[in-house]
Structures are given as C-alpha cells and as structure tokens.
Amino acid sequence: MLDRARTALANLIRPAAPNAVRRFDGAAGGRRLRGVGTFGPINPEIGAAAFMVRARARYLTRNNQWLSNAVANWTTALVGSGIRPTSESAEAVAEFDTWALDADADGRTDFWGLQAVIARALVEDGESFVLLRAEDEGFRALVIPAEQVDESMTRDLDGGGYIVQGVEFDASGRRVAYWVLPHRPTQAFASYAAPVRVDAADVLHVMAAIAPGQVRGVSWLAPIILPANELDQLTDALLVGAKVAAMHAAFLVDQNGAGEPFDGDPADISLEPGTVRRLPNGFDIKFNTPQQAQQTAEFVKHSLRGLAAGLGLPSHMLDGDLSGANYSSLRAGLIPFRAPCRASPVRRARAADAPPRLGPRAASHGRARGDRRMAPARMGSGGPAEGD
C-alpha cells in the first residue's frame, strides 16, 4: 500500500517528457546560431556582392604572395597546352596555326596566350568575356574585363524578354545579347556611356556556375578573402615584430634614479664579439628580449592549408612547400585536383564553344578572302598531363 502511494506521488511530481520536435538544427534559433549568416537567391546575391568581391580578390592576388602563386598555378592547370586542331587535312591545321598567331585583337599575344588570359580572369573575377569579331585583317578575339558588361542593367523588356546584370534573355529564357560598356585602354577615370548591345553569337561567356539559373560569375577567391586578409595581417605583424626585435640590442638603466645624463658617449657603446665594457657607477644594462608568439609556424601552416582547401588546390600549389611531401602524397593530392581541371568551364568552353564558333567563323572569313585552304578543323583540347 505504501509503495503504491509512493509510486503515484512520484508520477505526479515527475516533470513531463518534452514533446518531440521535427526540425533541422541548422534552421533553429538560439544563441549558438545567432551569428550565422544566410544566403538568398543566387543572382541578387551576386549582383550585390560581385563588384566588391572581385575588387578584393584582385587586390589580394596582386599583393599576397601565396594567392598570387595559387592563381598562377590554377591558370596553368586550366590552360595546359591549349586548343590544338586535329584534322585529316594537314593544310587545315597549318592554316589554323597561322591564324592563331594573330588571333588577339589587341595584337599582344596569340590564341594560346588568350586562353591564359581567359583562365586567369575566370579564377580572379569568376568569369571572362570574349568578343568575337571579323576585321579587315582577319577574324579576331578580344578579351574584355568582367565589369565592362554592364552589371547595373537589370530590367524587363517588351515581349517577355528581360535583362539580368547586362545579359539579355528572350521570352523563352535563352541568352540573346550582352550589353557592353564602351571602354578605352587609356581611360584613367570612370565615366558613363550608354552600353552597346552585342549579339550573344559574338560573345563567349566563360564562368563556373555554383547554382542553377546563375547569370554572372563570382570570384573563385570569394570563400578565402576574409581568412587570407587576416593571415596576411598576422604574418606582416610577425615580420615587423621580428625586425624590431633584431634592431633592439639593450637599454641603459639608471639604478640611482637621479635622472643624470650618461657621462659616456652612447654612440660608442657597441657590442663586438668578445667585448667587455665597464659602465659608470649607478648604471645597469638590460637586453631586449621580446616574446614571440608560440607555435606561430604551425598555425600559419594550418591557415595556409585552409586557404588551399578553399581554392581547391593541393597545399603545395599555394605555399610551394614540398618539405613533407613524397611521390605517393603528391600523387594522391594531384589525382582529385585533375578532375575539376578536366571539368572546368575553360575546357568546356574549349570543347563546346570553340569548335562551332571559332572554326566556322575563321573558315568563313578565309573563304571571304578567297582562301579555300581554310577548312573547319575539329578542335582537340590539351590540358594538364593525364599521367601520374
């Protein structure tokens, strides 16, 4: 009887079991998730942030030694040996090589140099634009900076078409044109001029989409801009600290506290090897021993590995450190790296855009000049070495 009463009383005062809640922890509230950011639809996010992300990525690439090395290595990996024509006609291949030497509308490089410019812009800016145009001297390609395609132009058009960040779509959602701002290489100050509509058939837009429906690209450096800047400031502070520590030798201390000036010549107090000096009465000397940050080298290495992961690179392609590497570790790191290189937008543009656009256009221009040797050749892509 007494046991049953105790059990009933315990059931009355026992706290009720909480109701089960079906939810994603990542969507819950509370203190732990208070500072977590959110990300909205891809095109408005890129439209608001692409300019600043691109400007900061360019700054870090040109001023940070590690990111400069990383971008250079990504460019080399994406371009490889470049596009080479494969054709049963040796004359077609020779004609293509002749045209490739003068493919750059600026006259600064050749067709393979243009590929390197495109690949570098893809990594730094997240996208690259190439204008295809036929000139009196021949068919040429002109690489333009990403900001020259008017990012501020977003509006609806009559007939169901629309423009998103300088890219025009028809009612069916197909890209039909790009709105390009006039630009002069000698232009030192920003100025506004109405953008010019360029048919999409005359533009190559190379970018790596990170979401469905994405219109414009975003820099590949976006995930590591903040930690790269923080690490840059850390290493700069450590370097300045080490320099200051090396400059300081010692301080003379007045033990008597009289505040009297030192009788000797402070400029004559030097520390050559084996020197023994006698100080005046009441003076002592203390050497400067600044405390350096503990385990700094390991922390910097850990941070560099994080930057390499954010860029999708093996760490040695960022910091150039092969001290702990061997054949097996290098091969294991390069095998997964080659997969995104093969699937990169540069290679897809080379495999998809180049043959139907560059080949026939160059061939038609050759026929217009009365040169019948210029036949369309099937393009083959080079790239990173496929072997081990």
Other beta carbons within 10 angstroms of residue 238's beta carbon come to 15
Per the structure, the complete domain to which residue 233 belongs is given by: 224-269+277-322
Q: Does residue 142 belong to any structural domain of this protein?
A: yes
Do 228 and 93 share a structural domain?
Answer: no
Q: How many domains does the structure of the chain reveal?
A: 2
- For 134, phi then psi, to 5°, come to -100, 120
Question: Which range, 248-252, 311-315, 350-354, is most confident?
Answer: 311-315
Average pLDDT over residues 52-78: 94
Do 372 and 313 share a structural domain?
Answer: no
Three-class secondary structure of residue 286 per DSSP: strand
Do 173 and 61 share a structural domain?
Answer: yes
Query: Is a pLDDT exceeding 90 seen at residue 348?
Result: no
Do 254 and 162 share a structural domain?
Answer: no
Q: Does residue 335 belong to any structural domain of this protein?
A: no
Do 78 and 125 share a structural domain?
Answer: yes
The string of pLDDT tens digits covering residues 352-373 is 344 344 544 554 444 444 443 3
What is the spatial distance between Cα 98 and Cα 142, in angstroms, rounded to a whole number?
Answer: 18
Q: Does residue 153 belong to any structural domain of this protein?
A: yes
Do 203 and 87 share a structural domain?
Answer: yes
CA distances (Å), origin 4, targets 16, 240, 343: 20, 77, 72
Do 231 and 151 share a structural domain?
Answer: no
Do 201 and 62 share a structural domain?
Answer: yes
Q: Does residue 2 belong to any structural domain of this protein?
A: no
- The pair of structure tokens assigned to 362 is 């160059």
Q: Does residue 15 belong to any structural domain of this protein?
A: no
Do 199 and 144 share a structural domain?
Answer: yes
The string of pLDDT tens digits covering residues 263-291 is 556 556 665 665 666 666 777 777 766 66
What is the spatial distance between Cα 326 and Cα 340, in angstroms, rounded to a whole number?
Answer: 23
Percent of the chain with pLDDT over 70: 72
What is the spatial distance between Cα 351 and Cα 381, in angstroms, rounded to a whole number?
Answer: 7
- For 12, phi then psi, to 5°, come to -70, -40
Do 131 and 47 share a structural domain?
Answer: yes
Length of the chain counted residue by residue = 388
- Written as one string, the DSSP assignment of 92-151 is HHHHHHHHHTT-BTTSSS-HHHHHHHHHHHHHHHSEEEEEEEEETTEEEEEEE-GGGB-T
CA distances (Å), origin 295, targets 302, 308, 321, 322, 387: 11, 20, 18, 20, 39
What is the spatial distance between Cα 94 and Cα 90, in angstroms, rounded to a whole number?
Answer: 6
Whether the full predicted model's pTM is greater than 0.85, yes or no, is: no
Name residue 102's amino acid: D
8 A C-beta contact, residue 83 and residue 92? no
What is the spatial distance between Cα 335 and Cα 249, in angstroms, rounded to a whole number?
Answer: 51
Contacts of 362 by beta carbon, 8 Å cutoff, 6+ apart = 96, 99, 139, 374
What is the spatial distance between Cα 344 and Cα 122, in angstroms, rounded to a whole number?
Answer: 10
Q: Does residue 237 belong to any structural domain of this protein?
A: yes
Q: Does residue 386 belong to any structural domain of this protein?
A: no
Q: Using CB atoms within 10 Å of the CB of residue 275, give its burial: 0 to 12 exposed, 13 to 18 middle, 19+ buried.
A: exposed
The string of pLDDT tens digits covering residues 157-203 is 999 999 999 999 999 999 999 999 987 666 777 677 889 999 999 99
Do 53 and 165 share a structural domain?
Answer: yes
Do 243 and 208 share a structural domain?
Answer: no
- For 133, phi then psi, to 5°, come to -145, 145
Q: Does residue 150 belong to any structural domain of this protein?
A: yes
